[in-house]
Structure formats: C-alpha cells, structure tokens
Chain A
Amino acid sequence: MTTSHQEEFALLARAAEGDHDAFTRVMKTHEDRIFAVCMRMLADREAALDVTQETFITAFRKAHQFKGNSAVGTWLYRIAVNNCYDHLRRNKRKPADSLPEHFDQADPFATEAVEASAHRKEIEEALASLPKEYRAAVILADMEGMSLPEVAQALGVPVGTVKSRLFRGRRMLAERLGEPNG
C-alpha cells in the first residue's frame, strides 16, 4: 500500500468511526472523478448527480467494511458503477437508440479518419450507445486511466473479462465512429 493509499485508508477508517471531517476529505478527493464516471455512464447530468450522491452515502455507511484490499478510489468506483447499473436497469435505457446520425450501416468499414474535436457529440453518443458493461470498462480504462487489475477490482470481474469487454467496447466504438475495423 503506497503512502497516499495509507493516508486514504486511515481517513476512511476514521470516517467509519464517525469522523465526518475525514469523510468529507475523502469526498472532496474523489467527488469529481466519481461524477465524471457517472456522467459518462448515464449521459444525464441530473442522474449522474443523483448517483454520485448515492455513491457517497453508500460509502459512508459501508466504510467499516473497507479492508484496504484496493485503493479507496477503486472501491468508490465500484460502488458508483454498481449504482449506475442499477439506475440504468430502473430506467431501462436503450442506448442503441442513440447512434450517431452519420453512422452508415451499409459501410461499417469506412476508412475516413475521425477528427475527434469535430465529432465530440458523436463520440459521446457512441460511448453512450455501448452496452453498459463495455461502457464501464472503456470509461475506467481509457478515460480514467485505470490499470486492468484496477478496472477488474472496480467491476468485480476477472482481468480476462475486462480485456474482453475492452476489446469489444473499443471495436464497437470504432465501428460507430467510422473507424476502420481491420
């Protein structure tokens, strides 16, 4: 456990004993990243704020269960992703309905390169259209910069499953963004 992990572990331990200042420090450290993950998962700001709130409430109530087997941030991501899954289930979103307009089903292997700055909206829509399990893997690995073991801990699945979901998620994104698929 690195020094920063030790410090965060200690903060969470104090939070579990009722130290509100300690938990507030944990919140301040992670609230933006948790919100960003929820926002990418749900593509809805109000929903993302609600789920972020649920995540920290759950974290406070379960702080005494945290054993330090992962980083505090990874643990929080896990709670957040599970809450996002629950939210999506409750709202029965159909992400496949939000394919970008320029997506050409007749030519899925278009070789035209995508200028990311010019197609941010399409990228966001393509990300939102992924199955939630693939989307979570892509968000955590490619946007939050987590390692494969960290993503595996956050998602509660083996590393091999993370690799598979990442590959499939990226391939679907590439197809929907008009990237060549090899």
Chain B
Amino acid sequence: MRSHDREEMEARVREALGSLDPISMSETERSDLRRAVWSEIRSAAPAPEPAPVPWRHRLVGAVAVLAVVVGGVAMLDGASGDGDADALFALSADEGSATTVVAAEDGDDRSTEDFRGGAVEQPETHQYSNGGGQEADPISIPPDLTAMLRRSAETLRTGGFTPLTAPLVDCPARDELEGLTPFATVTVGDTDYQAWKPDGEEVGPDTTITFVDPGTCEVVASE
C-alpha cells in the first residue's frame, strides 16, 4: 500500500470510528458499579486486627489490677486460711505474668510502632470487619492516625494535594498555629484534617506540616 493511500485509508477509518456515539454509563449503572466494587472489596477483606492498646493503658490497667490484688491479700492476711491465700496467690501470679508482659513491651516502644506501621501497610485489615455478620462501617477510624498522617505529609511535600476550596472551621487563636497557614486537607477515615505549613513557605521536602482536627482545632500531628 502506498504511503498516501495508507494515510487516506487510516484517516477514513478514524473518521468512521469518530462518528460513533460516545459511550457512558447511566447514573444508576455508576451507582451500582461503585456499590458493587466496595461490596466486593469489603467481603474479601479479612477481619481487622484489633487496634493495639497503647502500652500506657495496659500498664495502668495492670497496676490497677495489682493494687486490687495486693489490697485483697492485705485484707485477708490476718484472717484467711491457706486455701484463700493459695487462690489469691494463683490470681496474683497470673496478673504478675500480665504485668511482666506489659513491662517487656514497655521497654520496646519501637516494636509497637512497627506493629502499628505493619497494620497500616495492610489497610484492608483495619478498614473493614466481616466478623460476626456485623455490618461494617467503611469509614471507621484508622488504627494509627499518626503513621497515616506521616505518610500524608510525605505525599503533600511532593505536591500531591488538592488546594483548599472549602472554608475552614473558624478555630480560635492557638499558640501552636501561630505563624502557620492552612493549605490542604487530608482525609483520613471520615475526618478531613487540615494541613498547615509555615507562613510564606512553599511546601517542599523539608517543610514541617501540622495536621489540625477541624472539629476540635487541636493539633493532632506535626510531621
């Protein structure tokens, strides 16, 4: 085929194809599509790992239990027989082991951070629940807000953000927001956190980004 003839042929083919009506989905089809996609994603997600209890909470709980046990032992010290003391000893031994576990974790915060980081790597494990037949709320609070905001900060520094369009919550003046300017929002779970940067500074690789909860106007993270 000569070059000229080929070009003509291809032009006519493109013209013919261009005459076809554009294809799009109806609104119903779009809604059904999105619903089906999320339904499939949720149904395939494994049950989420329970959010790790911060070690401080575990320690406080263990101390409280220990205090009760110690108090109980002191009360019975002068009056109880061996049976009761043995039972209490068994109970305190169990609680002691729990305390020991807490202490071990207490000494290694990094492992807890890694665990939380690992959970973030598998978002499906914490975003959905299909256990017990309960209806899952897909917009549940993520297990590690700090880690997710840290990653969001990295994305924001590379320019990956949509500039603010909606009016901000009118936050009262706070010391920690002085000298800062809001420039974007980051959605984590069902919250649109405001991202603030230093006044007059362009967002760059070294920019410190401060995340503010729009509901409380409190700083939740500074990355």
Contacts and interface: CB of A to CB of B under 8 A. Distances in A.
Contacts of B151: 13, 17
Interface in B156-194: 158-162, 187-188
Given A7-B160, A142-B14, A181-B1, A20 B37 contact: no
Interface size class of A (residues with CB under 8 A): 35 or more
A123 B20 contact: yes
Contact of A35 (B10, B25, B41): B25
Interface stretch (B28-36, B60-68, B72-80, B214-222): B28-36
A80 to B, nearest CB: 13
B160 A13 contact: yes
Interface string A55-71: 01100110000000000
A68 to B, nearest CB: 10
B86 interface: no
A41 to B, nearest CB: 11
A113 B139 CA distance: 57
Interface string A11-34: 101101111111010010001100
Nearest to A52: B33
Interface stretch (A85-93, A153-161, A166-174): A166-174
A96 interface: no
B87 interface: no
B29 A117 contact: no
B19 to A, nearest CB: 3
A116 interface: yes
A39 interface: yes
A123 B17 contact: yes
Nearest to B41: A60
B152 A14 contact: yes
A174 B40 contact: no
Nearest to A121: B20
Contacts of B33: 27, 31, 35, 49, 52-53, 56
B40 A179 contact: no
A35 B20 contact: no
Given A20-B138, A32-B24, A57-B40, A7 B162 contact: yes
B14 A16 contact: no
A143 B30 contact: no
A81 interface: no
Given A18-B142, A20-B38, A52-B33, A124 B20 contact: yes
Contact of B9 (A40, A117, A119, A182): A182
A142 B25 contact: no
A49 B33 CA distance: 7
Give 10 nearest A-B pairs by CB, closest first. Answer: A10-B160, A18-B123, A116-B19, A182-B5, A182-B1, A36-B23, A116-B16, A170-B13, A32-B24, A21-B187
24 contacts: A3-B159, A6-B159, A6-B160, A9-B160, A17-B120, A20-B139, A31-B30, A35-B24, A35-B25, A49-B32, A53-B33, A57-B40, A116-B16, A116-B18, A116-B20, A127-B17, A142-B14, A171-B1, A173-B16, A174-B9, A179-B16, A181-B5, A181-B9, A182-B1
Interface of A: 3, 6-7, 9-11, 13-14, 16-22, 24, 27, 31-32, 35-36, 39-40, 49, 52-53, 56-57, 60-61, 113-114, 116-117, 119-120, 123-124, 127, 138, 142-143, 167, 170-171, 173-174, 177, 179-182
